[in-house]
Structure 1
Amino acid sequence: MSTKISTWPAATPMWVDLGVDDLPAAKAFYADLFGWDFASGGQDAGDYQLAQLRGRTVAGMGPKQDPDTPTAWTTFLASDDVDLTAKKIDAAGGQLLAAPFDVMDSGRMALAADSGGAAFGIWQAGTHIGAERVNEHGTLCWNELHTRDYTAARSFYSKVFDVSYQDVTEEGLIYSTVRRPLDGREVGGIHHDTALPDHTPNHWMTWFASDYVAGTATRAVELGATLLGPVEESALGRMVVVRAPQGEVFGVIDAPRTSD
């Protein structure tokens, strides 16, 4: 399925949001690229915007809270109890960047860095469950950790979120899929990225689905983005990595052909 109306199970990457310097420009870019509309996050949400596709919320976007922070998509993992998850993060060698707090009646959240320094969010749903449409053109379809600290990262997320792993390592690639505890479903990945430049921190990568990856890549360039490599074939379909005009990096990959 591609729509979701109930709370996402714990440990699932279920939301992404973006802080930018120029919010109108970012909205225009993604509206053109993916067909997103935008709605206000609510009276007390400042300029935070909910990106929507055909009436369902798919991502969040707002002005940066700190202008010195890099522009990047943040991956949020679902939690049944953010406060307990925050304690586990500390015990596992991570760091809280923002202690748990309520976001009106939408939910409760925290921001953290794992033991290798990769930033991510934690979300305990209230009225806002996260992404309501996934795995189709213009929506979130995959999140993966790019890390130099592969063994340590696997240990960290298993301690904090009780996930397990499926090793899919092959020649030239050290990779595990992340299986959530509820049902063992593969919901994300951990990549031992030995090609990370020295100045690039360990990070979570957001992938959006496309029905026509080459066309999406071409349009992104026309809108001022840069491709970080050519459109390539993979076992999961065509894919490309894009740097948007304000600097955030994301992947585009063929929309899944199987049900959610």
Structure 2
Amino acid sequence: MHHAQDFYEKLFGWDVRRDAEHEDYRVCRKDDQPVAGLEHKNGSEAPPFWTTYFATDDIAATCAAVTSAGGKVLTDPFEMAASGQAAYCADPTGAFFGLWQGGELPGFGLVNEPGSVAWNDLMTRDFEGSKSFYANVFGFTYDDGDNSYAVAKLPTGETVCGIHEAVELPDGAPPSWLVHFAVADRDSSAQIAQELGASILMMMDTPFGPEALLQGQHGEIFTVIAMNDTGADAD
């Protein structure tokens, strides 16, 4: 936990604080707004990873919808003190995600700004099946950019996330959600991450801005992106 806290404080300028109610949880703030969380996994053999959360007004009903659509509820809803309720699930392909029913902490206090979450993408080998699952659970509709990428929207028209048919996934690599963090400058952020012990897996120029795919020292995969004015809204 100490190494992760130091890494992300230096990379994103976060103020990481211990949660008063949960010894193994840290709330990460940028400009005094909650932007992420760090949790120590006791005894877990799985490498660390960033979790994509979906907001819900009724976490029990959403868990039931996950099961009905063919997914699995891995952790029943539990209280995070007055902050809210959380649950952990997997879609039919095994991609892990979280649910959040906000209390005193409704969700992110800052998005699309340097040091905060900009976007989430599902990397999956089952493009159509994944679209169907998340539509059934969350009511998403899709704007299909091409035959391998779809932008998910709420019934209100707000963009939420992307679903990508990731044929480039290595054999044995599980489907997963990929979290993109906004930064002011892709190159300098990637260099800082590397100096702090991360690996640069790929540098690319995207329609939304220059981006770097990184792997933290402990194995977590994420990206940093310097978003331009054409970037999508994140939830």
TM-score computed with the length of structure 1 as normaliser: 0.86
Q: Percent identity?
A: 38
Q: Which AA in structure 2 matches 1:204?
A: W
Q: Following the alignment from structure 1 to structure 2, what is the Cα–Cα distance between the partners of residues 65 and 185? A: 37
- Contact residue 211 and residue 225 of structure 2 kept, 8 A: yes
Give deviations 1:2-23, integer Å, cap 9, x for gaps.
xxxxxxxxxxxxxxxxxxxxx0
Question: Counterpart in 2 of 1:226?
Answer: 199
Q: Determine which of 56, 60, 85 is the counterpart of 1:79.
A: 56
Supply the distance in 2 between the matched residues of 1:158 and 1:62 (Cα, whole angstroms). Answer: 29
* 1:77–1:123 contact (8 Å) kept in structure 2: yes
The 2-side partners of 1:103 and 1:232 are apart by 38
Q: Which runs of 5+ in 1 are unaligned?
A: 1-22
Contact 2:83 2:105 in 1 (8 A): yes
4+ runs of 1 displaced by more than 4 Å?
A: none
Report the counterpart of residue 212 of structure 2 in structure 1: 240
- For 2:221, which of 224, 239, 249 is the aligned residue? 249
Structure 1 residue aligned with 2:161: 188
AA aligned opposite 1:85? T
Partner of 2:175: 202
Alpha-carbon shift at residue 47 of structure 1 (Å): 2.5
- Show the counterpart of 2:5: 27
> How far 1:109 moved relative to its partner?
1.4
| 141-150 vs 58-67, greater mean Cα deviation | 58-67
RMSD of aligned residue pairs (Cα, Å)? 1.4
Query: Quick one: which amino acid aligns to residue 29 of structure 2?
Result: Q
Following superposition, the deviation at residue 70 of structure 1 comes to 2.1
CA contact (8 A) 1:41 1:50 kept: yes
Q: 1:108–1:153: structure 2 CA closer, same or farther, 3 Å change rule?
A: same
Higher relative contact order (CA 8 A, sep 6+): 1
**Distance in 2 between residues matched to 1:137 and 1:152, nearest whole Å:** 33
One-letter amino acid of the structure 2 residue matched with residue 112 of structure 1 = C
Look up the match of 1:6.
Answer: none
Task: Give the C-alpha shift of residue 256 in structure 1.
Answer: 4.5
Measure the CA separation in 1 of the matches of 2:170 and 2:42.
Answer: 26
Paired residues in the alignment total 232
Length-normalised TM-score, structure 2:
0.95
Matches within 5 A, 1:56-205: 56-169=33-146, 174-181=148-155, 183-205=156-178
**Equivalent pair of 1:109/1:121 in contact (CA under 8 Å):** yes
Rate the CA distance shift 1:168–1:29 in 2: closer, same or farther, 3 A. Answer: same
Please point out which of 190, 193, 196 is paired with 1:217: 190
Structure 1 counterpart SS, 2:115: coil
Amino acid at match of 2:90: A
Distance 2:172 2:139 in 1: 31
Deviation at 1:65, TM superposition (A): 3.7
**Following the alignment from structure 1 to structure 2, what is the Cα–Cα distance between the partners of residues 212 and 78?**
29
Distance in 2 (alpha carbons) for counterparts of 1:114 and 1:190:
13
The letter of the residue matching 2:176 is: H
